Amino acid sequence: MAIITISRGSLSGGRRVAECLCDRLDCPCLADEVLQNAARKLEVSEGAVRGKFETAPGLWSRLSRERERYVLAVQTALAEACTEGDLVYHGLAGQFLLRGLPAVLRVRLIAPLEMRIGALRAADREMSRQAAEDFIRNVDRDRERRVRSMYGLDVEDPALYDLTVNLRSLSLDAACAAIAEAAAQPAFRIGETERARHQAFAAECRQRLEESLSGD
Amino acid sequence: MAIICICRGSKSGGRRLAECLSARLDYPILGREVLQEAAAALGVPAEMLERKMADRPSLWGRFSSMRRAYVVAVQAALAERAASGNLVYHGLSGGLLMRGAPVVFCVRLIAPMESRVRVVREETGMTAAEARGYIRELDASRSRWVEVMYGEDIMDPALYDLVVNLVSLTVEGGCAVVTRAIQGPEFSVDEDVLARLEDFRLACQVKLALAGDVELRALELDAEAEGGTVVISGEVPLRKSGRTGDRIVELARGVAGVRQIRLRVEWFDPYP
Amino acid sequence: MALVLASLVMLALLPAALGAQEGTGATAAAAAADPAWWFWPLVLFGMTFVMGILAAVGGVGGGVLFVPIVSGFCPFHLDFVRCTGLLVALCGALAAGPGFLRMNLASLRLAMPVAMIASACAIAGAMVGLALPTNVVQTLLGAAILGIVALMMRARKSAFPVVPRADRLSQILRIHGVYMEASLNQEVDWKIHRTATGLLLFIGIGFMAGMFGLGAGWANVPVLNLVFGAPLKVSVATSKFLLSITDTSAAWVYLNEGCVIPMMVVPSLVGIMLGSFIGVRILRVAKPSFVRWIVIVLLLFAGGKAITKGLGLPFIV
Amino acid sequence: MGEHRTPGVSDEQLLYARILAVGMYTGLLTLLVTFGVYLSGAVEPAVPIEELPRYWTMDVQTYLEAVNQEYLHRDHALTGWWWLGALDRGDFLTWVGIAFLSAVTPVCFAGVVPLMVRKRDWIYVAIAVTEVAILALAASGILIAGGH
C-alpha cells in the first residue's frame, strides 16, 4: 500500500483510473480537496490557486514570490494528507510536490490523441473534431510549458515516474489492476520510518509556508 | 496470453525481466536467437546481421535496401515465433517489429544511469567514466537506429504500453505489474486473434520473400494479409517487359499459406 | 556492390557540381577564362547521366529535369536547351514505346485522340515559346516547375479507378481495353469516362510541353488516371507513348527554327540513356522514395533558379 | 518477338509497335554514326568545334545569322529544311539522325492507316490522317515563328 500520484494529460481517463484504484485499495481519493485546503490556508478562492497552476507563468509572477507561495500552500496541503496514510492523488503536479518522499508511487497515464479527442467529443457533442484536437493540443502545450518553467523538467519524461501506463491497448480496469500491483510492492509500503519521514516533510512544509506568509 | 515485447536500454535488466515473466507465465522466451533464425532465412552469417541491426546506420545505410531486408527477416522470424499467441521477446525493437499484430504488449524498462554503470563495471571492470561512455554510445546508436528505420523516437512513451522505471521498483516488481496488466480480456487469445497472428506471420513471410529478390528488394514493398489474402503495396517501376508485376505475384504465391494475392501498387515510369 | 554504385553516382555528380560552379564563374567573369570547347558538352554528359539515374529510380521524366537544370546552371541559351530537352524526352518515349504497346499496356486507341489534340497544341506552344522573349519564357518555366513540384507532392493515384459507365464520346471512339493483371490472375477490362473534360485538359498540357520543351508525364498520368479513369498501369504506359507523339510535333518546330546543336543533343541523349540503364540497376539497391525527395529538392532549386534568372534577380548559385 | 502475343492487343497496335521499334533503332544508330563522323573530323563541320562555345550562348536567331555570315554565306539564314543543302558539313550531317528520329511517329501513323481502313474504323482513320497532317505541317517548316 502506498501513496499514489497520478499525472495525466487532460481527458486521458485519469479520474476513472484513480477512482478505480481507490475502490480497489479502499483509500481516499484526492484532487480538488487539496486545492481547497490550500486556498483556505491562503485565504483565497480555489479558482485563484488553480489558476496559478494551470496557466504558464507570466513575466511578473516569475519574478514575484506569489506563485511560489501558492505552490508551497498546495504542497503543504498534500503533505498533510499524506501523513494520514494511503491515498491516491490525481490532482496537479503530484510527482513534483512529493519529490524525494519515500513510498510514493508516481504514475503517468497517457492515451493516444484519437482516444482523447473521442472522450472530449463524447462529453461535448457540439464540438468539432478539429476544435477538440486544437483544445487538447493547447492544454498539453500549456502544461508542458508550465512544468518546464516551474521545474525545468519535461512532463512527458518517463524517468520522472515509476510507471508510465498507456491506455491505447490497456483497458482502464487492467491499468488499475497493474498500478495496484505496483503499489503492493515492498518498495512502497508505508512503515514506521516512512511515516516519520512523511510527518517530518509535512512539518517542514508547514513551517516554510508560515515563514512565507509572515514574510510580507 | 500475450506477446510481450521488452524494449530496454542495455544493462537495464531486460533479460532478468524476461526470464521472470517467462517463468511466471510459462511463456517461451526469445532473445537474440531471433537474429540467428533471421540470418538463416536470408542465408547470411549471423554475426553480420547482428552487426547491421546494432550499428548506427551510415549515410549509405539510410537508403540501402539491404538493411531493410535484414529488418524484414528479423520481423519474419519473430512473427513465426509469435504465431502461437504467447511469447516473451527481449530483443531489438520488438514493439516496432510487431506493429500491427494483435495482443502485443510493449514494455519499456528504464533504469537510473548509476545502476547501469554499476552493472557494466561489475561485468567488465571498466572505470566509471568508461562505463558511462559505453552506455551512452549504445543508447545513441539504438535510438538512431529506431529513428532511421521507423522515424520514431525510442524514448517516446507513446510507443509503449507500459514504461517501468527501476528507480524504486525492482525487476520482480515490474514482472508482477506486467503479469497483472495482461490478465484483462484485451489480451486473451481466441480463434480470431490466432487468425490475425497467422495473417501477420503470412504477411511477414511474403515481405521476406519479396525482400530476398534482387529485382524487388529496393522497392520496399509492403504486405498485409487477411484470411490468407495478401495485399501488396508499394511503388513499382513499369518496365517495358511488364514482368515486374508477374515476378511479385510469382514470389508471393510461392509462400506457403497464401491463398490469394492483390497488387495495390503505384506504378511509375522508370524511363527518361 | 553498394559502395561501387555510390561512388559511381558521386563521380557522375562531380562534373555537374563543378560545372554549375564554373558556369556562373564563367558567365560572370570575363570570356577570357572560357574553358575548352569540350568542357560543357562533358558537363552536360555528366549531368544527364545523373538525371537518367534519377529519372529511372524516381520515376520522373528526364525532360522535366533537363530543361530547368541545364538552362539554369549551364551557359547554353534556353532555345537550344528546350529543343535538346524535347529530343531527350522524345527518345526516351520512343525507346519505351514498342514494349508498352506490345504488352498492351499503352493503348493506341486511347492515345490517338488525345495525341491529336496535344500535338496540335504542342506546335502552338512551341511557336509561342520561340516568339516570346527569353526571360519571359524562363520565368514562366520556373513557375511551371514549381507548379509541377506541388502536383508531384500531393499526387494521389488510383490503381483501379472506378468507372461506373463509359461515356458517350468514349463509346463512339470505342476507347476501352484489356490487359493481363498477374495479381488477379485475370484480364482486367477497363473503360473511361469524362472524355471531353480530359481532352480539353490536354490542350493545356500539349501547349506547355511544346512551350517549355518538358516531357509531360507529370500531367499526362494524373489526367489519364484520375479524369479519364484509366487504370494506373495503363495511364503510365499510355502517357509515355503519348509523349513520343506530342514531342515529335514540337520537336519539328524547333528543328525548323534551327535550334539544334548536335554537340548538345548527342551527349545529352547518350548521357541520359546510359544513366537510366544504370538507374534501372540501382533500383535494386536504393529506395525510390529517397530519390523522389532528391528530385523534388532539385526541381525546387531549379525552379527558383529559372524564376530568378528570368527576372534578373540574384540567386544562391 | 511475335512468339508470344499479349491478349487483347489489336493488329494496328502491334504494327505500330513494330514500325516504331525498327525506326527508333535505325534513328539512334544513324545519330550515333553521324555524330561519330562529326567528332572524328572526317567531314569538315560548318562551325569549327573549338568555336562552338561562342555560339551556344546566343539566341537562335542571332546564332543562325552569325553562322550564315561567318561560315555558310547563303542568301538566307538556315531555317526550315535548308539544312539538307548543308549535308556536306559534319555538324549538319548529324541532323539526319535527329530528323530521322522525329520522323518515326508520322511514319508509324501512316503505316497503320491501311489496317484501319480495312477494318472500316473510319473515325480512327480520320484521326490518324489528321495526326499525320499535323505532324507533316509541323515538319514542313511552313510554321515559322516570328522574330524575338
Write down the domain spans for chain D. 11-101
Q: What is the model's pLDDT at position B202? A: 95
Q: Which residues of B touch C103 (CB under 8 A)?
A: 240-242
For the segment C123-173, what is each residue's pLDDT rounded down to a tens digit?
A: 999 999 888 898 899 999 999 889 888 887 776 677 777 788 888 888 888
Hey, are the CB atoms on B164 and A162 less than 8 Å from each other?
yes
Cβ atoms C83, C251 nearer than 8 A? yes
Select from C33, C74, A178 the least CA-distant residue to B164: A178
**How many independent structural domains does chain A possess?**
1
Q: Which residues of B touch C51 (CB under 8 A)?
A: 272
- Show which subunits contact C, needing at least 3 CB pairs below 8 angstroms: B, D
Q: What is the DSSP letter of D147?
A: P
The pLDDT confidence band at residue C1, using thresholds 50, 70 and 90, is: very low
Q: Is the pLDDT of residue C12 over 60?
A: no
CATH number at residue A100: 3.40.50.300
CA distances, B17 to each of A163, B138, D74 (Å): 15, 20, 92
For the segment B195-234, what is each residue's pLDDT rounded down to a tens digit?
A: 999 999 999 999 999 988 877 877 878 899 998 899 998 8
Q: Which residues, listed in sequence order, are joined to residue C189 by a DSSP beta bridge?
A: C178
Strands B162-165 and B104-110: parallel
Among residues of chain B, what percentage have pLDDT more than 70?
95
Domain extents in chain C: 2-7+40-311
**C285/chain D closest Cα distance in angstroms:** 30
Q: Is the pLDDT of residue B109 over 80?
A: yes
Hey, are the CB atoms on A171 and B184 less than 8 Å from each other?
yes
Q: What is the model's pLDDT at position C19? A: 46
Q: What is the DSSP letter of C34?
A: P
Domain residues for the domain of A50 are 3-214
Residue C112 has its nearest CB partner, among D6, D79, D128, at D128
ipTM above threshold 0.90: no
**Which pTM does this prediction carry?**
0.77
What torsion do the CA atoms of B170, B176, B178, B182 make, to the nearest 10 degrees? 180
C98 touches chain D (CB under 8 A): yes
Start-to-end C-alpha separation, chain A = 41
The pLDDT confidence band at residue D20, using thresholds 50, 70 and 90, is: very high
Select from B100, B130, B111 the least CA-distant residue to B201: B100
Cβ atoms A32, A53 nearer than 8 A? no
3-state secondary structure of C215: coil
Q: What is the model's pLDDT at position C47? A: 92
Please calculate the CA angle C243-C138-C124 and round it to the nearest 5 degrees: 45
Select from B227, B199, B181 the least CA-distant residue to B2: B181
Hey, are the CB atoms on B270 and C59 less than 8 Å from each other?
yes
CA distances, D47 to each of C192, C263, D119 (Å): 52, 11, 51
Residue from C39, C87, C104, C179 whose CB has the most chain D CBs within 10 Å, to mutate: C104
Q: How many CA atoms lie within 13 A of A163 on its CB side?
A: 33
Q: Is the pLDDT of residue D15 over 70?
A: yes
DSSP chain B: --EEEEEE-TTSSHHHHHHHHHHHHT--EESTHHHHHHHHHHTS-HHHHHHHHHSPP-HHHHHBHHHHHHHHHHHHHHHHHHTTS-EEE-STTHHHHTTT-TTEEEEEEE--HHHHHHHHHHHH---HHHHHHHHHHHHHHHHHHHHHHHS--TT-GGG-SEEEETTTS-HHHHHHHHHHHTTSGGG---HHHHHHHHHHHHHHHHHHHHHTSTTTGGG--EEEEETTEEEEEEEEE--TT-HHHHHHHHHHHTSTT--EEEEEEEEE----
Hey, are the CB atoms on B237 and C159 less than 8 Å from each other?
no
- Give the E-state strand segments of D23-113 in sequence order: none
Element (H, E) at A199: helix A192-214
Mean pLDDT of B249-260: 90
For the segment C203-219, what is each residue's pLDDT rounded down to a tens digit?
A: 999 999 889 888 777 88
Residues in chain A with pLDDT values less than 50: none
